[in-house]
A and B are shown apart, each in its own frame.
Chain A
């Protein structure tokens, strides 16, 4: 556990944080609290929770709960509250986006070559030809949930991949746990949930990584009680049969999305929503995606096109750090 304690001014609380690796990503959790023991215990609980999510939902682990569900089509399979909650959110998201997000894209993703961990995908020289044409069309509507028995029945041939929404969902749940102690931030591989604000600031400072220069930021945000997520095709991409592939599948074609966008960053009331809207906007491309994002209430976004151009929604700048705004808010508070 990598923890630091940073005293804050005019405040008896201190800041604690924990960094760890899970879901093949870097994670971090921060909390500002008075009780050191409670802070350490809660940060450890966040780490344990994230590891549990990974253990239950990993599609690369044949023993995970999700893998066992995928291996049992046509049967009513009892599932844990955790898998139930994530799957319920995933199906709600599919309905809300009219299928632009589809949790049944696992076969299409594997057909594109992402059938093992990303490190293994990039290492191998895959020249095999596989297509998604023989895979059943998106049948998320046919998934049967029984709330009373908490069972899930998958149609034959349908397998689930919940990675598209699981990180944002996990960030929200972990932040809810930490928020009982004080202002907090949870970073699940770039999907971030924020509760409250650090003392003497207007929010938590969150950078938007520049996909062309990972050492630099496109902008510095000040956010409180929000979720922030970024989807992109800048990193998880590979060559297969001479063609560049990536992990964002367009459910309409069941192939890697043909988009002019490189990354999409969304600020929404929750990290799960931000995660979902960033994914859908990326699939839709710059013009349609920008219009789609602008129609969502209380949601703002920054879109980076593959040619380097940036687009922002109308009120995105309210989250961008500006020294004058910071000073004015201090005076208002004083």
Chain B
């Protein structure tokens, strides 16, 4: 029996389709494997919380504004002239501090 070129091509196509479908079927079996049920979730207790009012945000002053160095005019004062300091009188150097004499003897109860 001889096969034509066309029939061989058709056979190969059919074969590859069969293999592909088989792999899909295997993957599908893995995906549907049952998993452990999720833990029961506790029932949430609904409470009403009164939140404080949101404070009003005041916009800070724009610090990027240029500063003006212009000031009010200050009245000038007539200050008396600084008197010259009198000359410091010359004093002789203090006498050197006497060294405390070492006791020649020490009185004590009899020993």
Residue A209 is within 8 A (CB to CB) of chain B in the complex: yes
Contact B103 A205 (CB under 8 A): yes
Which of B100, B102, B103, B110 has the most chain A CB within a 10 Å cutoff? B110
Cα of A230 to Cα of B109 in the assembled complex, Å: 5
A25/B110 contact (C-beta < 8 A), A323-B100, A327-B95, A327-B98 known: yes
- Contacting B at CB under 8 A, from A23-67, are 25-26, 28, 30
Contact A204 B104 (CB under 8 A): yes
Q: Which residue of A lies closest to B99 (CB)?
A: A323
Residue B29 is within 8 A (CB to CB) of chain A in the complex: no
Contact A228 B103 (CB under 8 A): no
Could you mark each residue 81-111 of chain B with 1 if its beta carbon is under 8 Å from any beta carbon of chain A, else 0?
Answer: 0000000000000010110111111111111
A228/B107 contact (C-beta < 8 A), A323-B97, A323-B98, A327-B95 known: yes
A206/B95 contact (C-beta < 8 A), A201-B101, A321-B101, A323-B100 known: no
- Contacting B at CB under 8 A, from A212-267, are 214, 217, 220, 222, 228-236, 263, 265
In whole Å, how far is A267's beta carbon from the nearest beta carbon of chain B? 9
Q: Which residue of A lies closest to B102 (CB)?
A: A205
In whole Å, how far is A202's beta carbon from the nearest beta carbon of chain B? 10
Chain A residues near B108: list those with CB within 8 A: 190, 208-209, 211, 214, 230, 232, 235
**What are the 3 A-B residue pairs with the smallest beta carbon separation, nearest first?**
A232-B109, A207-B103, A209-B108
A–B complex contacts, Cβ < 8 Å, 28 sampled: A25-B110, A26-B111, A28-B105, A163-B110, A192-B105, A205-B102, A205-B104, A206-B103, A206-B106, A207-B103, A208-B106, A208-B108, A209-B106, A209-B108, A211-B108, A211-B109, A217-B106, A220-B103, A229-B107, A230-B107, A230-B109, A231-B109, A233-B109, A236-B110, A263-B109, A323-B100, A326-B98, A327-B98
